[in-house]
Structure 1
Amino acid sequence: MIIVIDYDAGNTANVLRALEKIGVAAELSADQEKIRQADGLILPGVGAFPAAMAELEKRDLITTIKDTVATGTPFLGICLGMQLLLDASEEHVLTKGLGLIPGVCREIPATPSLKVPHMGWNALDIQRDTALTSDLSGKYVYFVHSYFTDVPAAFCDVTADYGIKVPAMISRGNVYGAQFHPEKSGDVGLGILAKFKEVVYADSTRN
């Protein structure tokens, strides 16, 4: 079972529908035991970084998430959920993140020709091959965000050009992030979620 973590900050209905389309057994939950026993975890997210971290802390989920990831459980953060993977964010006020991937979330610099938020369909450029990136070069996905994940190149898998090279997918070990919304990115997005499913169930001991 894949658990979509419930913390009142995610586009959860669309994520669950997308998972259903690819035949994934998934459940929305904030139950710590269910999270610890999950085959895989997805942390979606929309909204502000400080409020999201405060809600995770309120539900006593931060330690649960970190402990579960440390056991090797595959983890996917989507949009704000990807930003929360980092050490910190500068959004509104410097706020500590989950610290699963090194880096800081910073505001996208606006230009006369490029407005913030970065909103719409953008092409992907592969930087590193991972289990989730095959066949993505040049494919278009849907973004809605005002902040980007400033991470070392060693953790940046895919970028999109928006005045700067915006990290579109990042990873570290069993932790993956997608800045765009796979659940809103048509067949390309469903394909990424299907690849995550393959990662989750690659270990034959999981069922």
Structure 2
Amino acid sequence: MTRQVVVLDYGSGNVRSVVRMLERVGADVELTADRQAALRADGLYVPGVGAFHACMTGLRAAGGAEIIAERLRLARPVLGVCVGFQVLFDGSTEPTSIQPPPPGLGHFAGIVERLDAPVVPHMGWSHVTPAPGSVLLEGIEDERFYFVHSYAARQLLESRVGGAPQVTTAEHGSTFVAAIEDGVLAGTQFHPEKSGDAGAQLVGNWLRSL
């Protein structure tokens, strides 16, 4: 069965590569911020590149915060990627000229902080340590994924989604959260669309779980 996926369009970078990857793995894809389309899709993919607070501002302006919250209330799957994953946390210490700095969506308790590493940003291919029983990483537990970021959540303090979260980690100077799976809400700090065959398989795993 073909799954319908909306890529949430709120002005966050070039998302054409995301659309192409989803089409590659067999999804019926629509790039839109239309509320009804986003609510009825089998899956909602929330991209994000750039600065945390700018993404949050764009997301709220496009109604994305309400769309995500409503989908979670209805138990409909959401996948956030890179900054689209970071915004699921309470907030970020990333500097911003936006005052007051907008908070995150707060579905995951924790703060996104600057990586504690000799070289920042973390840019390139890295292995991850998958959570036991990970659905997203099934069959690709030993693969590498592509990261481009200077900030990340060091830990998940609590999930407010109501499930039993599975936390995948990675290392760059110190340990950080690379992915979370918590029922219908999931996210990755790395970019599946830039991670070649491994990234495509991860998204395929997500589609099959919808």
Which one of the candidate residues 43, 47, 58 is aligned to 1:44? 47
Structure 1 contact 157–167 (Cα < 8 Å) conserved:
yes
1:171 match? 181
Establish whether residue 144 from structure 1 lines up as the match of residue 151 from structure 2: no
Instruction: Note the C-alpha offset of 1:156.
Output: 5.1
- Give the direction of change, closer, same or farther, for the CA distance of 1:136–1:166 in structure 2 (3 Å limit): farther
Describe the shift of the 1:118–1:32 C-alpha distance in structure 2 as closer, same or farther (beyond 3 A).
same
Distance 2:206 2:112 in 1: 24
Q: Match for residue 183 of structure 1?
A: 193
CA distances 1:90-131 after superposition (whole Å, capped 9, x unpaired): 1115541111222111110232xxx11100000121233222
Distance in 1 separating the partners of 2:75 and 2:155? 21
The answer for the alignment partner of 2:161 in structure 1 is none
1:89–1:156 distance in 2 versus 1, CA, 3 Å: farther
1:101 to 92, 105, 108: 108
State the match for 1:13 in structure 2: 16
The SS at the match of 2:108 is: coil
Whether contact under 8 Å (1:102, 1:151) holds in the other structure is no
Residue type of the partner of 1:65? I
Q: For residue 76 of structure 2, what is the aligned residue in structure 1?
A: 73
- Worse-superposed segment, 40-49 or 84-93: 84-93
Per-residue CA distance 1:129-188 (angstroms, 9 max, x = gap): 222121233211110000012333774522222111121111222110111110111110
TM-score, normalised relative to structure 1 = 0.89
Name the counterpart of 2:56.
Answer: 53
TM-score by length of 2: 0.88
Equivalence for 2:160: none
Counterpart of 1:134 in 2: which secondary structure? coil
Aligned length: 197
1:116 matched to 2:116? The reply is no
Please point out which of 4, 22, 25 is paired with 2:25.
Answer: 22
The runs of 5 or more residues in structure 1 that have no matched partner are 201-207
My pick for the range that moved more, 190-199 or 50-59, is 50-59
**Contact (CA 8 Å) 2:117, 2:174: kept in 1 or not?**
no
Residue 168 of structure 1 aligns to a residue whose secondary structure is strand
Q: Which blocks of at least 5 consecutive residues in structure 2 are unaligned?
A: 158-163
- CA, structure 1 residues 150+166, in 2 after alignment: closer, same or farther (shift >3 Å)? closer
